[in-house]
Every structure is written in C-alpha cells, then in structure tokens.
Amino acid sequence: MPPRPRPSLAAALAAALVAALLVLLPGSTTAQAAPVLLSQGRPATASSTEGAGTPASAAVDGDNGTRWSSQFADPQWIQVDLGAAARLSQVVLRWETAHARAYRIELSTDGSNWTTAHSTTAGTGGVQTLDITGTARHVRVYGTQRATAWGYSLWEFQVYGTTGTGPTLPGGGDLGPNVIVFDPSTPGIQARLDQVFQQQESAQFGSGRYQFLFKPGTYNGLNAQIGFYTSISGLGLSPDDTTINGDVTVDAGWFNGNATQNFWRSAENLALNPVNGTDRWAVSQAAPFRRMHVKGGLNLAPNGYGWASGGYIADSKIDGQVGNYSQQQWYTRDSSIGGWSNGVWNQVFSGTQGAPAQGFPNPPYTTLDTTPVSREKPFLYLDGNEYKVFVPAKRVDARGTSWGNGTAPQGKSIPLSQFYVVRPGASAETINQAVTQGLHLLFTPGVYHVDRTIQVNRPGTVVLGLGLATIVPDNGVTAMKVGDVDGVRLAGFLIDAGPVNSPSLLEIGPAGTTTDHAADPTTVQDVFIRVGGAGPGRATVGMVVNNHDTIVDHTWIWRADHGDGVGWETNRSDYGLRVNGDDVLATGLFVEHFNKYDVQWNGERGRTIFFQNEKAYDAPNQAAIQNGSIKGYAAYQVADSVAVHEGWGLGSYCYYNVDPTIRQEHGFQAPVKPGVRFHDLLVVSLGGNGQYEHVINGTGAPTSGTSTVPSTIVSFP
C-alpha cells in the first residue's frame, strides 16, 4: 500500500484553530466541560504505531502539529494514565484524516478491567467532543472499524475532569505505637524487649507487628530476644554508630529446640559485643541478618543443635567464626567473616571476605569471589534529630561490606518528610494518592487490607516496611504492581494472600515491556510472599517479574505447609515465582511448596545465586502432580526458548508426607544449550518421603532410602 498523504503543519494548525473557535461558540457542549485538562503530558501507550515519528505520547503533548498513528489494521487502541483516579466529564478527540468509524471510550481504575463510557459506529472524524461520566485513572480510545484504508490517527486525545478525593497528603509524622524507639538513657529497655518477646515468641501467625529502633550510642547488658514479626535496627548511618554490649538472640525454645519455623524477623544496622563472645541467630527462612557488626562469633544453630533451615546474611562483618552447625543451607553475600564451620547440604557465598574455598559437594561450599550486581536495602536512620531513609548505591562485582574502612556510604538520603507514613487503616486509594503526589511509602508495623492494587508507577519510589508490615489483598486483586520505570526500591514487607484467588500477589513491571533498566534497576529485598498459614489464601502466581534487569535480593515465596487454611486445594497456588524479564538477578532465592512449578524462568540471561526449595508436602498422590509424561513439576524450570541462563548453589528437597511413594522426575529442568549452565546442584529426599529420579533433566543419580543423603551435580551440562 503506498504511503498515505499527510496534511501540512499549517493545515493542521488551521484546522485546530477552527476547532478551537467552534469550542467557544455559545451553546457548544464544551462550554459545560470541567475546566481541568488531566491528560496532557501523562504517560500514554498504544496497541501499535505507524512509525517512530508517531508515538502515543504525541497525542497527549498539547501540540496540534504532532500525532499518534497506528498500523493499518483493526482493532487498535490508545490509552492514557492520568496518574490517579479522577471524576471525568469530557473527552475531546482531534482526529487526523485517518479516523475511526466505530470506536469506544473505555475507563479503568487499574489498567486491566475496562468499562465503556461511550460507543459509536458512526464516527465522523474532525473534532469530537464527548460528554462522559465516571471515575477512572486510565482512559482508552478503542477503535474497531477504520474509516479509511490507513490506521487510526489523533492529533490530540484530551481528557477533562476533576481530581482529588481529599486534601494533599502530608509527608512524615509519627511512626505509631508499634515502632519502639530507645536511646541509651531510656529506662526499662530490657523489660520492654522482654514484654514484646513474650507476646511474639510463638505467635507464628498472629497479627502483632513490632519494630525496635535504637538511637546511636552504647547500650549495656541487653539481651534482645527476637520473636515473630519483630525487627531490631540501629539508627546510625553505620552499624558501629549503635553498639549493644549484649546480644540479639533467636533461639527455638518455643518449638522444643527445633529452629525450622523461626521465620519473619530481622536484625539490621547494629554492632554487638556478645556477652559470652558469640551471638546466637538460629533462624530459618525470611529472617535476614543485614548490615550487622558482630564483635565476636555468630552461632546459627539453636541451643542443643536442633534442626535449622535458614538463612541469609548480607553486608555484615562477623569478626569471629560463624558456626553453621545444623543449618541445612545458608547464603552469605558481600560480607566479611572470621571463618565458617562445617556445612550440611548447601552453603553459598558471594563477595564474602573470609569465606571458605569452593568445595562442593564435600564440603558443600559454593564460593563466588564477587557478587555481579548488588545494592543494599534502604534503611531508616537519624541525621541529628531528623529521620531519613538512606538508599544505598548500586555496586558491581562487590566484595565485602558497603560500610566501614573510613569511607562514606555511597547512596542518597531522603528525608522522612518525603515519605507518606502508612499507618494501619490506610486504604489503597490513599496509598496510591500518596505515590501519585510524589511521596515515597513507609509502612509502619501492622496488617493492611487493600481492596485495589497499590500502584507504584513513579521512578525511584521507595516502599519500605517496618516490623514486617503485611499487605493482604481483598477480593482477588493483585496486592502491588510496579510500573515500567527505573529505580523502584521495595523492601521489608510481607504480602499475604487473601481467601479470594489473586492472579498474582506482586508484579514488577507490565507484561511485554522492552525497556532497559540496567542503569537503575528495581530491587526487591526482604519482600516475602505467603499463601495460607494465617488463614485460607489463594493466588495463581506469587511474584511475577516482567521488568528487565530487576534484582531480587532475598525473598521467601511460600505456600504454607502448616497453620490455618492449608490443603492441596484450600491454599492452591500453582506457581511461586515467574520471571519474564531479561537480565534478572536473584541473590538468595527461597521458594517452597507450590502446586506446580516453584520457579518458572522465561527471560534471557537470568542468574540465580543460591536457591532453596521444598516441593509441596501435601500432594495427595502421583496423579496430582503429573506433568504430562513427566513425574512432577520441577522446582526450578528454565523455558526451552531461553538461550542463556546461569545458576550457582541450588537445592531442592522433597517430603511427600501424604503419599511417600511419589516419584519426582527431577528438581531442575532446563534446555541443553551452551549458554545454559548450572553449578553445584543437589536434590534430597527427607527421610525417604518421596524420591527424586534425577537432579536436572535426566541427569544425576536418584535419591533412595531414608538416609537423607543428597544427590549432587557439580556442573551442568
């Protein structure tokens, strides 16, 4: 088809001037329009473009000489994101010659579910002023029949209405009663620590949430025992600004010396002088130990050396030896340690000074000299008397801590006044208004029910939780979505599935994005996903990563195997993590118990350093997990279409306690291609409850018997 004629700029401006004069005529419907133009300069997307010179953004730029045009096919659409829900009154379409004969004006609050506000099959082109009613954030022109042989083309797509459902939200403010702040002169610190611990020690699925904050200084004679949903942090810019001559302790007395359920707690940004020379941090999943300086040793086992199934250390310095003892697996990143004792199945180190040498499978050490890309978690601190959040800079090929050695930390500080301090009872609508207004989000400890998706669409937004703040989606919505933008920082919160199935619980970027975010990636750190346990919950997928270059640094994505609302169909969730974006890096990936694939990796050039998995305990029989001709779904699947992928230190365990006769074909599945490489893989049958036939694809010895001995592969292919 020959190129279509294009009106000259002068002709276009003349047409626009005539249209503008018509708008001002007495009796014109435009005279009744709301005076606020909401769409100009807002993000616009389209189903297609005719070429690079006619992008969607040209239809909302306020310039009547630039335009959007589509490919020459039906249907086509263009939509604009107003940034926040608004009460709409009018849409003005300034068509170029290529206009729509049949089209709809559609409205949406979430960009996914649309309602029709106007529909016609007799479009005349020119300037069309349409009175509409409705409340929406997204407005779309959906063309179903072209009036010419060309595509659809708009000089301008204008949306009018009124915004704001209330006054401008303030930044900063009080952190609420469950953020407990101490300074060295505070009386009764130990009693307050003990009071919270007594409440939280065994409250595995309770609603209590607590954050302890210690102002810079020295504290003597403390033993801060840390229970469920409790976080302890120093408020200095460096861990050494806040010193406890005492201990920060996690033990397992509440569970008869078994630490395998010591979840959901954290310690950050403190220096410790342990009373007996060694601090005890006997945890399992979702219990990060970050930015800590232990002036002595660290014991990762419970008193009595019972079972433990953790864990994660980052950006920390342990002057003495780390006693691994009974920990089945552990990941240590960008740290400095005085030594490391023994190992059970899978111990992984990247960028860690003092780490043991590579030795997998005996001893079971996977050691990388550096971490390819890392960026430490944002943290709250005091600058004088002012609260700020420090946002550390990205590091490439990092080794050792980001602090110490007399160097200033690299990154930026954001005053608390630039954060919306989210308190229990806040609605998703208000939270979204805060982001649209330009504020970051600081979730104070609590449980938050949201009836719509929290939309994080502004570049560089920090979303930071204190005290394992927990977000529960109601009515089957996705709890949080990140836009196709640079530099979003998600950290320190838990998303707990609601009883109505959500398609996903957390989405990083929209499907199909092609944007390069390598210079300033989104980071997801200590963000945990849970389906069931605290009550019935359902989600098709736990976390979806679409944005390229995303860094997932320590997550536990868990379909509950115990607690309330647990059963093969009761807390159904087929997939834990799905990665569609390219160049995504996971450091410290824990994903467990999903009904089908725990991890599905579809993006190119993905990398994972450390993976821990258990297959779903509660599969009722072999047929329930049959994957076509394959026995069971792999814990970690790389799509056949992927050409380049790499993983280090990955383990999968099975414990089919409902039907111990179940056979699992393999723990890992990947295409056999030169660019797809794995290092140090293992599968384990826990006590003979189910067995693996291979480690990856059809490679690797089967597990057998009840001795809980791993089957390992050092290199694949």
SS3 254: helix
DSSP class per residue in 428-452: HHHHHHHHHHT-EEEEPSSEEEESS
Rounded to the nearest angstrom, the gap between the alpha carbon of residue 359 and the centroid of all alpha carbons in its chain is 32
Among 646, 651, 642, which Cα is nearest to 700's?
Answer: 651
Beta bridge partners of 539: 502
SS3 59: helix
Sign of CA dihedral 8, 13, 18, 22: positive
> Active-site residue among 156, 507, 614, 693?
614
Beta bridge partners of 383: 386
Alpha carbon separation from 261 to 176, 297, 385, 562, 594 (Å, rounded): 28, 23, 38, 10, 18
Beta bridge partners of 715: 679
Would you give the DSSP letter of residue 549? T
CB 568 within 8 A of CB 559: no
Among 62, 163, 165, 139, which Cα is nearest to 130's?
Answer: 139
| 614 catalytically annotated | yes
Distance CA 593, CA 576 (A): 8
Distance CA 467, CA 431 (A): 18
CB 650 within 8 A of CB 668: yes
Sign of CA dihedral 510, 511, 513, 516: positive
Distance CA 91, CA 120 (A): 14
SS3 424: coil
Residues in the chain, how many?
717
Beta bridge partners of 314: 290, 333
Would you give the DSSP letter of residue 629? T
Read off φ and ψ for residue 199, nearest 5 degrees.
Answer: -75, -35
Torsion of CA 201, 204, 205, 210, to 10 degrees: 50
CB 133 within 8 A of CB 102: no
The residues annotated as belonging to the active site are 614
